Amino acid sequence: MPGDAVEFLTVPALAGVRHGFVTRRGGVSGGLFASLNVGLGSSDDRAAVRENRARAVAAVAPGAQLVTLHQVHSATVIPVTAPFPGDERPAADALVTATPGLALGILTADCAPILLADAAAGVIGAAHSGWKGALADVGPATVAAMEQLGARRDHIVAAIGPTIARASYEVDDGFVARFCAADPANEAFFAAGRPGHAQFDLEGFIAARLAAAGVKTVVAMGVDTYPDAARWFSYRRTTHRGEPDYGRQLSLIALA
């Protein structure tokens, strides 16, 4: 994979706004991290990670300045008007801005990246949503923060990028009970599995929460990170293989 071009997926509904869900191809890392690992929290060589980040931004939003977070599986949203100083990355899981030239970046390896835009208002957002963030409504919280910058929620387009799909996401009955305690209707996002377990539709749950928050255009890409090791890093796949660490891919969005 080293030497390949940087590869990223886009969503037609976000046309006009620079964005991309970047795969693991086209970077300089080797071994378990081959090749475009952007995770500063991994044990990969930091210089390689920084080069990978630069390549990803250059491919998707040339000239933009990347802004990322120390992601903690919360519903905390940070409005940004400039890059954070030095290596500072606030503990949060979503970013919003109306400032051109900033590339809002989310790191994932099975969790769902959500990219959002109200192109007419010139407001964008990016959120990291694992199951904890999804249950805490990080998606709707990002929509509310975008409204504070002048967006209209009925004009926002949200795209849910590559994430672990229901076929690959086995959970136990205690997990199901947690979601159903929050709302019995959440049972609809679980399919029967082996005894004591179920298969969870994280993407579907996030899409439903965004729709309930008033977002009229929600694109669920339906790309499963778990089975496609050539294109996507996956925390769960790494765990099942007994590997010591894993890479992260980058999803980013920027105003021109």
Of all helices (H) and strands (E), which one includes residue 129? Answer: strand 123-129
- Convert the pLDDT of each residue in 116-128 to its tens digit: 999 999 999 999 9
The edge-to-edge listing of strands for the beta sheet with 190-192 is 170-172, 197-200, 190-192
- Least Cα distance to 123 among 140, 145, 154 occurs for 145
Q: Is residue 115 scored above 90 in pLDDT?
A: yes
Domain ranges of the chain: 8-165+201-254
The pTM score is 0.98
DSSP state of 195: T
> Residue 199 class from Cβ within 10 Å (0-12 exposed, 13-18 middle, 19+ buried)?
middle
- Least Cα distance to 173 among 190, 159, 153 occurs for 190
* pLDDT for residue 57: 98
| Euclidean distance between CA atoms 95 and 89, whole angstroms | 11
| Euclidean distance between CA atoms 4 and 10, whole angstroms | 18
- Convert the pLDDT of each residue in 12-30 to its tens digit: 999 999 999 999 999 999 9
- Convert the pLDDT of each residue in 121-153 to its tens digit: 999 999 999 999 999 999 999 999 999 999 999
3-state SS class at 190: strand
Q: Is residue 2 scored above 80 in pLDDT?
A: no
Crossing angle between the packed helical segments 202-212 and 138-148, to the nearest 10 degrees: 40
- Least Cα distance to 97 among 72, 66, 58 occurs for 66
Pick the CATH number of 8-165+201-254 from 1.10.10.10, 3.20.20.140, 3.60.140.10, 3.30.420.40: 3.60.140.10
pLDDT band at 256 (very low <50, low <70, confident <90, very high): confident
DSSP state of 161: -
Burial readout 164-179 (b: 16 or more C-beta within 10 A, e: otherwise): bbbebbebeeebbeeb
